[in-house]
């Protein structure tokens, strides 16, 4: 049984081999490598590390969406590769990455019905499903620091800043700045200080 599963996994991964052409796009490769490393730390694909990118592409539609986003942001050649690969190997169709700058190591858990239209997303952020990060009026978009987590159903809207290590709880609606290390919960969101500062 285990041998049959391993064979099926190998066949599925082989179908996604052409996607690895994207790794030759130097401007995208650094980000793709950082994304792969982060996803491996979180989801632990059952393959040797050299096969991790391929395993993630074969398994996670969200990762494919992010991968093609990286290519589209890496110049004309990358954009061409990204467009073709996204057509042949579709990602999560309800995940929209409309952000001008996404730092390395973004993890998207269940990217269903999620839009990321921030001004900037820092390194090693975490975004769950049914999240909206975006406009409350034209060109009024949030900026997220490094290591920010936005949990399921949360809305982060407007020209606000989320500091490094901050968290937005499930279904919270955040319309104000969130200091580094703080957590926002509720609708409208109220801010909680870091655990070390709570009484």
- Tens of pLDDT, residue by residue over 115-169, are 999 999 999 999 999 999 999 888 899 999 999 999 999 999 999 999 999 999 9
Domain containing residue 126: CATH number: 2.160.10.10
Q: Which of 52, 72, 92 is the last residue of a domain?
A: 92
Stated as kind and residue range, the H or E segment containing 34 is helix 26-43
Which domain-ending residue is among 58, 92, 126?
Answer: 92
Which of these three, 75, 92, 109, is where a domain ends? 92
Domain region containing 122? 94-199
- Predicted pLDDT at 100: 86
Examine the domain organization and report whether 45 and 141 are in the same domain: no
Q: Which residues is 114 bridged to in the sheet?
A: 95
Q: Note whether 155 and 88 are same-domain residues.
A: no
Note whether 98 and 174 are same-domain residues.
yes
pLDDT along the chain (199 residues), means of 10: 69 88 92 98 93 96 98 94 96 95 97 96 98 92 98 98 98 98 96 79
pLDDT of residue 4: 65
Calculate the CA 168 to chain-centre distance.
15
Per-chain mean pLDDT for the chain: 93
On whether both 54 and 127 belong to a single domain, the answer is no
- By percentage, how much of the chain surpasses pLDDT 90? 82
DSSP for 66-85, please give it. Answer: HHHHHHHTSHHHHHHHHHHH
Residues 50 and 131 in one domain: no
């Amino acid at each position: 049984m285990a041998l049959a599963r391993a064979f099926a996994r190998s066949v599925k991964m082989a179908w996604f081999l052409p996607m690895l052409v994207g790794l030759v796009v130097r401007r995208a490769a650094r980000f793709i490598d950082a994304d792969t490393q982060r996803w491996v730390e979180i989801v632990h694909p059952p393959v040797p590390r050299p096969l991790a990118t391929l395993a993630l592409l074969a398994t996670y539609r969200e990762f494919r969406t992010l991968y093609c986003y990286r290519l589209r942001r890496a110049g004309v050649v990358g954009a061409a590769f990204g467009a073709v690969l996204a057509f042949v190997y579709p990602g999560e169709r309800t995940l929209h990455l409309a952000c001008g700058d996404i730092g390395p190591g973004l993890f998207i858990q269940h990217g269903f019905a999620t839009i990321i239209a921030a001004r900037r997303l820092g390194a090693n952020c975490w975004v769950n499903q049914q999240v909206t990060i975006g406009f409350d009026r034209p060109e009024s978009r949030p900026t997220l620091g490094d290591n920010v987590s936005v949990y399921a159903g949360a809305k982060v809207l407007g020209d606000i800043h989320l500091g490094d290590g901050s968290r937005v709880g499930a279904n919270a609606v955040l319309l104000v700045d969130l200091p580094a290390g703080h957590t926002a919960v509720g609708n409208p969101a109220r801010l909680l200080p870091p655990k070390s500062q709570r009484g």
